[in-house]
A = this chain, B = another copy of it.
C-alpha cells in the first residue's frame, strides 16, 4: 500500500492531533474555517484527521511562527494545490480501509514498547 494512501486516511482524533502538532483545538478549528484543512467527519460529527492534515497543520504553524498571516498562508497553499486536475475514479472508504489492513498485515512486528504520553511531538 502506498505511502500516499496511508497519509490521506482519516485516522486521528482531535486529541492526538493536538499532541502531534502542539496546537490548540481552537487553532485547528480556526485553520479549518479558513479551508486550509478539511478533516473528515464521523457520523457523530467528530473530526477525523489524516497524517497529511497533521503535516499541513505543522506547516501552517511554522508559517505563522515566521510572521506570515492567514491571508498569505492561504495564497501559498492555493498555489501549491493548483496545477493537477483530472477526473479519476473514486475509491470507496471500505476499499481504503481494506488497503490499510493489508498494509498492516504485511508488517513484521516483533515486540512492543510503550511510548509515554508527551513523547509524540518530539518524534514527529
* A→B interface (CB under 8 Å): 1-2, 4-5, 7-13, 15-16, 19-21, 38-43, 48, 50-55, 58, 81, 84-115, 117-124
15 contacts between A and B (CB under 8 A): A4-B119, A4-B122, A4-B123, A5-B123, A7-B109, A8-B120, A21-B101, A55-B109, A58-B104, A81-B110, A86-B118, A90-B117, A91-B113, A93-B112, A94-B109
> In the complex the two chains form, is A113's CB within 8 Å of B15's CB?
no
A20-B100 contact in complex given A11-B12, A88-B120, A120-B88, C-beta closer than 8 Å: yes
- CB < 8 Å: which of B2, B5, B121 contacts A86? B121
**Which chain B residues border A39 with CB–CB below 8 Å?**
114
Q: Report Cα–Cα, A11/B111, bound state, in Å.
A: 11
**Which chain B residues border A97 with CB–CB below 8 Å?**
19-20, 105, 109
- CB < 8 Å: which of B58, B88, B105, B119 contacts A99? B105
Name, among A12, A86, A95, the residue most crowded by chain B CB atoms within 10 Å (CB to CB): A95
Q: Report Cα–Cα, A11/B115, bound state, in Å.
A: 11
> In the complex the two chains form, is B117's CB within 8 Å of A93's CB?
no
A107-B7 contact in complex given A39-B114, A102-B100, A118-B86, C-beta closer than 8 Å: yes
